[in-house]
Structure 1
């Protein structure tokens, strides 16, 4: 079996790296969302490896969550959400960019965690080349700040939909490190979610590590102006 990716933690190169088993993903979506913060996602390709440390996520609760793709049932697009936990659910947003989600909870319970942002800790030169071809960024802080940028940095698109994150030798693998202290975790409304699913009081399901420069800014969903708004 291929060994897990090496730790990119220069402060402690002897840190133990583990790849969570499927049972780790099969827990409540909020527990997994919280525990995904500070983990590492590595995407391997012929061009090289890129690893991102996850600093921001959003939880989506499936059939009981009006903000979830699975709220109205299973479709060809969201089928992976109904599969076994520990799979990568990739979709294309508005036909413009890709978003990466980690499937959680038992098979048939379509919950998932959107990976909203992170810090590139390995393969930064390759990540820069991918970002420059997709759009200009002004600093390393911006490389994977936001779900679209994160997917571009890792070189992942719909071809990665359904990838098994529990395989240490897989093309896409999530890993945890035995060292390092996490910042405090904060929560708030999800970004850009329209309708009742965007109600931050009911669904404060965006989680992030405080004092992390790669956490994206909050933006509510776009609401077209009405006659009431026109002066």
Structure 2
């Protein structure tokens, strides 16, 4: 599983991988969920990326690891989960923005202090729900607490849109590198009128 995942990430363009991760399962202990929203970050040439211009620090060192490396960083009080997508030295990755819980909902609700779609409808929220912390940073996926299983569900429709929360950086702000399952209630800022009763999955 891990070898196949690493090879797939290594040989797949980061935006393509970000779309393909929709419907994959994120698993941490007893908690699991279907990934419904991602964002692609394209390394040295991407003004919104932590490695823009080849910037390399102790904080973003995991980004320079091999495909399948977990990159967790902290923003305010929240941690955010990313997966490195390219060979070592090519600092591209995918931010996991939202998941649809499939198991461990009671545990997640207790950690978040709430239940329902808002429990995991953002990158900081899902890390809190799954108890993902900086201790998970720079570790291989599927060789520790954080697991990833590909292609479990297929979205009926994938929407691409500008990334959320990116400061005004020209093309980096406008780039349609956020991908989400159309109509899924757990996607960031999904309007009630747009929610699909089937969750946006193929029937």
TM exceeding 0.5: yes
Whether 1:126 aligns to 2:101 is no
Which of 52, 55, 58 matches 2:39? 58
Which of 7, 28, 51 matches 1:43? 28
SS in 2 for 1:51: strand
1:176 is matched with: 150
TM-score by length of 2: 0.86
1:153 is matched with: 129
Whether 1:141 aligns to 2:117 is yes
How far does the alpha carbon of each residue in 1:110-134 deviate from its partner, in whole angstroms, 9 at most, with x for none?
Answer: 00100111111111111011111xx
Alpha-carbon RMSD: 1.6
Which of 159, 162, 165 matches 2:138? 162
Q: Which runs of 4+ in 1 moved over 4 A?
A: none
1:212 is matched with: 184
Which of 155, 163, 184 matches 1:190? 163
TM-score by length of 1: 0.76
State how far apart, in whole Å, the 1-side matches of 2:154 and 2:65 are.
Answer: 33
Unaligned runs of 5+ in 2: 191-203
Assess if the C-alpha contact under 8 Å between 1:21 and 1:166 holds in 2.
Answer: no
State how far apart, in whole Å, the 1-side matches of 2:110 and 2:142 are.
Answer: 28
How far does the alpha carbon of each residue in 1:151-175 deviate from its partner, in whole angstroms, 9 at most, with x for none?
Answer: 01111110000121143xx321101
State how far apart, in whole Å, the 2-side matches of 1:39 and 1:204 are.
Answer: 21
SS in 2 for 1:59: strand
Deviation of 1:21 (Å) = 2.5
Counting matched residue pairs gives 186
SS in 2 for 1:80: helix
State how far apart, in whole Å, the 1-side matches of 2:139 and 2:156 are.
Answer: 29
